[in-house]
């Protein structure tokens, strides 16, 4: 399982429509409208990096999305 956090910017005034479209994308575990530099914080949980990449591509293709910034979660080892 891979967890990614994607920060999303959208065209002003299209937040509700983009929120609804993002909510339909498989693999999105959490979706939060936030204030500040980004409009949405999206937590993605999928089975591998290739699927994470495809999910981010789907997010980028949503009309109204202008930019994304994604970070990939890493596990800390006890050793």
Return d(Cα 73, Cα 56) in angstroms, integer. 14
Question: Is the residue at 27 inside a domain?
Answer: yes
Question: Is the residue at 78 inside a domain?
Answer: no
CB 43, CB 70: distance < 8 Å: no
Query: What is the number of structural domains in the chain?
Result: 1
The yes-or-no verdict on residue 9 having pLDDT over 70 is: yes
Q: What is the C-alpha radius of gyration for the chain, rounded to an integer number of angstroms? A: 13
Q: What is the CATH number of the domain that holds 40?
A: 3.30.70.920
Please tell me the predicted confidence (pLDDT) of residue 75.
78
The yes-or-no verdict on residue 19 having pLDDT over 70 is: yes
Question: Is the residue at 60 inside a domain?
Answer: yes
CB 19, CB 33: distance < 8 Å: yes
Task: Determine what percent of the chain falls in helix, strand and coil, rounding each to the nearest 5.
Answer: 25, 40, 35
Question: Is the residue at 14 inside a domain?
Answer: yes
Question: Is the residue at 7 inside a domain?
Answer: yes
Question: Is the residue at 54 inside a domain?
Answer: yes
Domain that holds residue 7: 2-72
For 20-78, the pLDDT digits (tens) are: 999 999 999 999 999 999 999 999 999 999 999 999 999 999 999 999 999 999 877 77
The two three-digit tokens of residue 54, written as one number: 């495809």
């Amino acid at each position: 399982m891979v967890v990614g956090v994607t920060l999303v910017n959208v065209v002003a005034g299209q937040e509700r429509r983009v929120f609804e479209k993002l909510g339909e994308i498989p693999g999105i575990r959490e979706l939060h409208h936030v204030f500040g530099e980004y409009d949405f914080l999206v937590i993605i949980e999928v089975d591998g990096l290739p699927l994470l990449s495809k999910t981010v591509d789907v997010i980028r293709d949503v009309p109204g999305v202008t930019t994304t910034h994604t970070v990939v979660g890493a596990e800390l080892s006890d050793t």
